[in-house]
Amino acid sequence: MSSSLPLCLDCIRETPEKALEIAAGVHSKAREEIGLPPRVPKNSEGIECSYCANNCRIPRGGRGYCNLSKNKEGRLTRKLGTPEKAVGSWYRDPHPTNCVAAWCCAGGSGSEYPDYAKTPAGDRGYKNAAVFLGACCYHCLYCQNARWREMASSREPVLERNELVEEISSDRSITCLCWFGGTPEPQSPFVYEVSKRIRERAEEKGRIFRICLEANGNFSWPRLKRIAEISLESGGGIKFDLKAWNENLNRVLSGVGNEPTYDNFERLGELHAKRKEPPFLRASTLLVPGYIDLKEIRNIASFISEVDPTIPYSLLAYGPAYMLGDLPTTEKEFAFRAKDVAEGEGVERVMGNKHLLR
């Protein structure tokens, strides 16, 4: 399929042991070339890091998969991804944003005006604070946001909690905060602290201010739960990128298993039931040619429907990127068949980025 990944979907499903061995070599080599730990460390004598669901066991002198946690003389240390500091950058993104969930969130659709949106048509004329976090607990060979790898390797630039809270809170044109990247999981203490403080200031002023996340879902549940509660009450939402259903396929494409993601998604379904509009929990899947087929979509959609059929599901056309840059974009015929399959499994709201289809 790709010159960088000598594996087809049948190989991954039918001979997973060999496929995983080959894929591990691809991931390790690519990560070493950009200065990141080659694999999730699982040293039996290492220190366990619980910042995300990878639960790295880091040997003395080594670093975790995200390159932020370190075993320094037998102690787990980190200077970034703490409540005070994080690797990342941010910008003001005018509404309607290019957020995957813009079609169903309050800022994009005006859902539940006036409680969560500025107008019945959404927040046009206002802005979103888009915070790009420069770390990840996955390593997707088709990653669409390349900047995080350079940030994770250099651990720069640095965001300061108090400065970020002040800048965002003082700008009354900003009506929501979206954490993305990379992904929020490895730096969840920073995400929580900034989100909590901004929400407190917004409530004092009686302002609409939503907190949203776009993530791969590989969270430590206790850390996710605290952030999710803030997002829920603010009128925001959490979107998980359900990359694949097959565990081995997820490991081949993203370097890490997907069981924590689906467990966390199911738990968030209970919060989703507490506020259907604007929908709190959202999902997306990137239609990677040759790897994400209708069987994958059927299984993912069936899972979403069982959690709650009202959860919006975005099927995203693939744009060639990173190590799978020699794959084509998603074909229009396949995308619409995938939409039919998802709806056939009971998902009530299915959408996509049609402009990228070929």
How much is the pLDDT for 104?
87
218-241 pLDDT tens trace? 999 999 999 999 999 999 999 999
How much is the pLDDT for 126?
96
Residue 354 has pLDDT above 80, yes or no: no
Residue 264 has pLDDT above 70, yes or no: yes
Regarding beta strands 158-160 and 85-94, do their DSSP bridges make them parallel or antiparallel, or are they unpaired? antiparallel
How much is the pLDDT for 355?
66
How much is the pLDDT for 358?
67
- Cβ burial, residue 176 (10 Å; 0-12/13-18/19+): buried
Known binding positions for [4Fe-4S] cluster: 136, 140, 143
Residue 103 has pLDDT above 90, yes or no: no
Residue 98 has pLDDT above 90, yes or no: no
Share of the chain above pLDDT 70, in %: 99
17-63 pLDDT tens trace? 999 999 999 999 999 999 999 999 999 999 999 999 999 999 999 99
How much is the pLDDT for 356?
63
How much is the pLDDT for 96?
84
Q: Which domains does the chain show, CATH number per domain?
A: 24-77 (no CATH), 85-356 (3.20.20.70)
Known binding positions: 136, 140, 143
Label residue 106 by pLDDT band (50, 70, 90). Answer: very high
136-145 pLDDT tens trace? 999 999 998 8
Q: For the chain, give the mean pLDDT.
A: 96
Query: How many angstroms separate the CA atoms of 188 and 3, rounded?
Result: 35
